[in-house]
Amino acid sequence: MFKHNYNVIGVMSGTSLDGVDLAHVNFEINNNKWSYQIFECATISYSNEMISKLKNGIHFSKTELSELNIEYTNLLGNIISEFIAKNNLSNLDAVCSHGHTILHQPENGFTLQIGNLPEIAKITNEKVICNFRVQDVLFGGQGAPLVPIGDKILFSEFDYCLNLGGFSNISFEKNNERIAFDISPVNTVLNFYANTFGLEYDNKGKISESGNINAALFDELNTLDFYQKAYPKSLGFEFVKETVLPILESYSISTEDKMRTFTEHIALQIGKILQQKTGRLLITGGGVYNEFLIERIKNYLPTIDVIIPDEETIQFKEALIFALLGVLKLRNEINVLASVTGATHNHSSGEVF
């Protein structure tokens, strides 16, 4: 007999490398309808040394990756344990952790999220549900995006759910099934250039706003093969490092102009997905704080009602949804949608330690 209440922690580390998001969540299910309440939450920043390792992990040897996986699992386990202790949390049903994506190559049948080793359960002394992506890739899917089932279950009052993190991704209903896919890089590129000014990010998009659009660069970015592909499709940091940054770096223009051009590129690509659409668009993720980017997105969406929610939902929506994915796994219910990932069938994914 399944429970009606679940007391869990959701843990997420995104490609923008701003740290580990943790959210203590209570879920309740009544008459097949889920509701949630977010309690304590936190973002724990990485050390500069760890940021460097996570950025460069795609170039590591198998041995180096294995060592990084162990190191990161220990780090993540300790972060979770400290969060539990600091907030005096008890009677948890599970810790539901995404881990950190280092390699994402679904076309090669491969995806790697570190921090998902069995030792994490010993470190936290809790039941841990993790490694949500691997099974989907084995079933022929992209292993991403995974958040859309949470959009469907928890945010059904919105017509579209857009996340602006390391990458932008969107989910919505089409022909009575959930559709979702990655749109373009966002903070993986903008933060890279903000870092060259000694900043973690472009505060409110002020640097980007000060630049000018380079028409040739803008056109070259918009004609990349990825944007012509049909969904399901997903992006990894490899795309940024091997394709996008080399294009940007090939132009002898100011960093401000590169950032301005890329901001317009992000907005245009989002606009193309939602052209001539109406309804309510929920936007979450760190990119929400880039006011200039939001202004440019709105420019391309004149008939859409753009909604930016409360702070907790902006910052911790992905941690919230991975908490839900873990609960669904506990119940052996579908937590990955084939309509979104391209897998052979819907399934209940994740490992339980």
| pLDDT one-digit tens code per residue, 173-204 | 999 999 999 999 999 999 999 999 999 999 99
| Separation of alpha carbons 70 and 126, rounded Å | 18
Per-residue pLDDT, 29? 96
Q: Is 181 exposed, middle or buried (0-12, 13-18, 19+ CB in 10 A)?
A: buried
If we measure between CA atoms, which residue out of 181, 166, 206 comes closest to residue 287?
A: 166
**What secondary structure letter does DSSP report for 109?**
T
- What is the mean predicted confidence (pLDDT) over 248-264? 98
Tokens at 346, concatenated: 């819907």
Tokens at 344, concatenated: 């052979």
* Domains identified in the chain and CATH numbers: 5-142+329-352 (3.30.420.40), 149-312 (3.30.420.40)
Give yes or no for residue 268 having a pLDDT over 80: yes
**Secondary element (H or E) of residue 323:** helix 311-330
> Which has the higher per-residue pLDDT, 321 or 145?
321
Give yes or no for residue 125 having a pLDDT over 70: yes
- What is the mean predicted confidence (pLDDT) over 254-260? 98
Give yes or no for residue 16 having a pLDDT over 80: no
Q: Is 26 exposed, middle or buried (0-12, 13-18, 19+ CB in 10 A)?
A: middle
Three-state DSSP class for 87?
coil
Where helices occur in 43-186 by DSSP H, the ranges are: 48-56, 62-86, 119-124, 134-138, 148-154
> Which has the higher per-residue pLDDT, 296 or 237?
296
| Band (350; pLDDT cuts 50, 70, 90) | very high
- What is the mean predicted confidence (pLDDT) over 104-131? 94
Q: Is 60 exposed, middle or buried (0-12, 13-18, 19+ CB in 10 A)?
A: middle
**Secondary element (H or E) of residue 114:** strand 110-114
Give, in degrees to the nearest 5, the angle at Cα 166 between 163 and 171. 25
Residues 6+ apart with CB under 8 A from 142: 106, 136, 232, 233, 234, 341, 342
Residues 6+ apart with CB under 8 A from 141: 106, 232, 336, 338, 341, 342, 343, 344
- What is the mean predicted confidence (pLDDT) over 32-52? 96
Percent of the chain at pLDDT exceeding 70: 100
Q: Read out DSSP for 146-211?
A: -THHHHHHH-TTSSEEEEESSEEEEEEEETTEEEEEEEEE-HHHHHHHHHTTT-SS-GGGHHHHHS
Give yes or no for residue 236 having a pLDDT over 70: yes
pTM above 0.85, yes or no: yes
Give yes or no for residue 249 having a pLDDT over 80: yes
Per-residue pLDDT, 1? 63
**Per-residue pLDDT tens over the stretch 104-113:** 888 888 899 9
Per-residue pLDDT, 221? 98
| Separation of alpha carbons 195 and 193, rounded Å | 5
Residue with tokens 């000018």: 212
| Separation of alpha carbons 22 and 39, rounded Å | 10
Q: Which of 233-242, 273-282, 290-299 has the highest mean pLDDT?
A: 290-299
Q: Read out DSSP for 216-254?
A: HHHHHHHT-HHHHSPSS----HHHIIIIIHHHHHTS-S-
| Separation of alpha carbons 121 and 81, rounded Å | 10
User: What is the length of the chain?
Assistant: 353
Residue with tokens 């009602």: 305
